[in-house]
Structure 1
């Protein structure tokens, strides 16, 4: 347990209970990711927060609270959006990933990262007196989170994504009430499954435990794998670049990738949408942006010429032309410790910007927990 590396995403009611349990169980290394700050409404259901913490980042405060329980815990916060700001390398780093999330978009991103890295992850959700804990494990060729989503779930997610530039108020809308008692129960189940994974004991992979607090009962659910589900995508080959996103240009990596793949037609795929420009549908003006979609706000989209809302034009593929060859990956909004994938035909190589690991992980050990051992620097 002391050597384990755990990624906890979400530091709200569930995340607080998960981190409390991590501390009590003696988990040695924990990265905590959350983008929010503490509000007064959080104080009644979050064991690690105090009244004086109002307005402080949740991730930092939760880390401090967990360290107060277990002073030897090596724990570090990540204050950012896990969809747009958290590099995929953290999923390669972690032994197990535990979620305390409250929206589908973040769960889909977490599921994609975990399955890409071939790591098990544990999801939890609570609503008033009800809750669910479930485990998804790529190693068992079982279902992923996306396999469990209905057509209605996808419709709601697409409606959210179609409004690409959301205000903070819109992003926080639709939140549901929670209680500290249900959070404690669900987080306890999540942490129990994580402990089993760390000790090499088979978890309830592909299954969920549904808790009904009103009737004080629970029951298991088994999910079915959808073979055509995009959520199962993983890497074919993995290479550690030994540098960060600010150290390499698009053109330099394209040259490297085309040599590695033996094809001049190879292109590089990004893990996130990048805005190339904002286009006004009224006055037809355009502005080059080249930022991650998650970094552009609703205010940024207002046309300076006519005041109307501009439409973001995005891309995820590099190498179709040489326009961006001299641009560094950091300038495209690619986050620290991220992974990009070069492809030609049916073959692909995923490149890890592991040179950023220490900057993102802080005092945590930077050694990756890989299913196999890729060569560093491609050697």
Structure 2
């Protein structure tokens, strides 16, 4: 990247006046670890702005920022990286641009995507640390399940009014986000979808009231936990830092792993293949899996996929291939009678399926995903790394940090 400055000079400093000299007064601090670290930031709103800003000031080398939304005027009072002229622009793109302004040595890339169904597992495997700055449970559940499948911890943040919480979930060794969800949480999550499990076109959620001061506190703790994880120090794993902004009573809570929680199983074996989701058909991938795992192998997907829509009154079934999350209620209305059609879903494909002739992208599999093949008790993940350059952009050419140990 042409804007990238000479990191060796910055890290070394001259006469103790280098950019990060004050950090290195901390005995255990290793700036080179941060310079080579990869951070995945999901959400570029109030929390995401503070997270990205802190990562830039700390000298984190590679950051992928994910968000679906555009900047509105109301974002300006809570988002340090946005300006009035940015209204209408993509949040993630502007956040990445401003991060590079703060620290030209940072490789910051944006990705316009919905965290629930647009993010493949490849970006989670790429990241050394995962930080969420989100405002809904559905997205948190999606991140939690993805992080668990690749065997990595993630750092969640939530704010409302003057209060907030930052917490670290590591499904490999303790409770995950879903372990903390109550029956009320699940009911509120279900309210985001219709009886047919389709996303509602209009959800009466309202806007979460927040302040920039609370987002600064919570995001600061999140990034501090990220620094600890990157240095191999003990973090708030399975715990949450709760901030009461009214009384300033801050405390740490511990969570318990829920017996029978399904979101704790990592994909132990993952192999990278060079094709993209648009290039590879489900049949070609299944053929490879059957050759490697045996003739009983089936393919399993990370998202619920839609095969067709069936109308009871009309008795007609219409093919519609997509990720379930990308289909709205209005898409399911029967064009003939106006009734709601039922979705026909699947999450696996076996030999003989008529879907095998379609590419993985046509089925609704997101770019740079990991598709799992299962034969009995054997499981093998296939990472579609052909999508990697498209997703990462300039970051694809930057090296991994040799000082950080891969967990997956």
Q: Under TM normalisation by the shorter chain, which class is it?
A: over 0.9
Q: Aligned with 1:160: secondary structure?
A: coil
Aligned mate of 1:67, from 88, 100, 107: 100
CA, structure 1 residues 116+201, in 2 after alignment: closer, same or farther (shift >3 Å)? same
- Note the C-alpha offset of 1:115: 1.3
Give the 4+ runs in structure 1 shifted more than 6 A.
366-370
- Note the C-alpha offset of 1:162: 4.2
User: 1:221 and 2:277 equivalent?
Assistant: no
Deviations along 1:160-215, one digit per CA (max 9) or x if unpaired, are: 24453335532x72431111000000000000000111111111111111000000
- Which residue matches 1:211? 243
User: 1:332 and 2:363 equivalent?
Assistant: yes
- Note the C-alpha offset of 1:39: 1.4
Q: Check the 8 A contact 1:118/1:371 in 2, yes or no.
A: no
Q: Aligned with 1:336: secondary structure?
A: coil
What is the rounded CA distance, in whole Å, between the counterparts of 1:39 and 1:33 in structure 2? 17
What is the rounded CA distance, in whole Å, between the counterparts of 2:300 and 2:154 in structure 1? 24
- Note the C-alpha offset of 1:63: 0.9
Alignment of 1:88-107 (within 5 A): 88-107=121-140
User: 1:12 and 2:45 equivalent?
Assistant: yes
- Note the C-alpha offset of 1:320: 5.4
What is the rounded CA distance, in whole Å, between the counterparts of 1:48 and 1:372 in structure 2? 32
TM normalised by structure 2 equals 0.87
What is the rounded CA distance, in whole Å, between the counterparts of 1:210 and 1:180 in structure 2? 17
Aligned length: 370
- Which residue matches 2:61? 28
* Structure with the greater alpha carbon radius of gyration: 2
- Which residue matches 1:285? 316
308-317 or 325-334: bigger deviation: 308-317
CA, structure 1 residues 370+326, in 2 after alignment: closer, same or farther (shift >3 Å)? farther
User: 1:294 and 2:325 equivalent?
Assistant: yes
- Note the C-alpha offset of 1:241: 1.3
- Which residue matches 2:27? none
Aligned mate of 1:175, from 189, 207, 210: 207
Q: Aligned with 2:93: secondary structure?
A: helix
Aligned mate of 2:275, from 222, 240, 243: 243
77-86 or 296-305: bigger deviation: 296-305
- Which residue matches 1:234? 266
17-26 or 341-350: bigger deviation: 341-350
Alignment of 1:1-379 (within 5 A): 1-139=34-172, 141-163=173-195, 164-170=197-203, 173-262=205-294, 264-319=295-350, 321-365=352-396, 371=406
Q: Aligned with 1:152: secondary structure?
A: helix
What is the rounded CA distance, in whole Å, between the counterparts of 2:167 and 2:286 in structure 1? 40
- Note the C-alpha offset of 1:296: 2.2
- Note the C-alpha offset of 1:103: 0.7
Mind listing any 5+ residue stretches in structure 1 that lack a counterpart?
374-379
- Note the C-alpha offset of 1:128: 0.4
Q: Check the 8 A contact 1:3/1:27 in 2, yes or no.
A: yes
Q: Check the 8 A contact 2:370/2:383 in 1, yes or no.
A: yes
Q: Aligned with 1:52: secondary structure?
A: helix
CA, structure 1 residues 337+254, in 2 after alignment: closer, same or farther (shift >3 Å)? same
- Which residue matches 1:377? none
57-66 or 301-310: bigger deviation: 301-310
Q: Check the 8 A contact 1:92/1:370 in 2, yes or no.
A: no
What is the rounded CA distance, in whole Å, between the counterparts of 2:212 and 2:297 in structure 1? 51
Q: Check the 8 A contact 1:102/1:175 in 2, yes or no.
A: no
CA, structure 1 residues 169+58, in 2 after alignment: closer, same or farther (shift >3 Å)? farther
What is the rounded CA distance, in whole Å, between the counterparts of 1:241 and 1:154 in structure 2? 37
What is the rounded CA distance, in whole Å, between the counterparts of 2:372 and 2:405 in structure 1? 17
Mind listing any 5+ residue stretches in structure 2 that lack a counterpart?
1-33
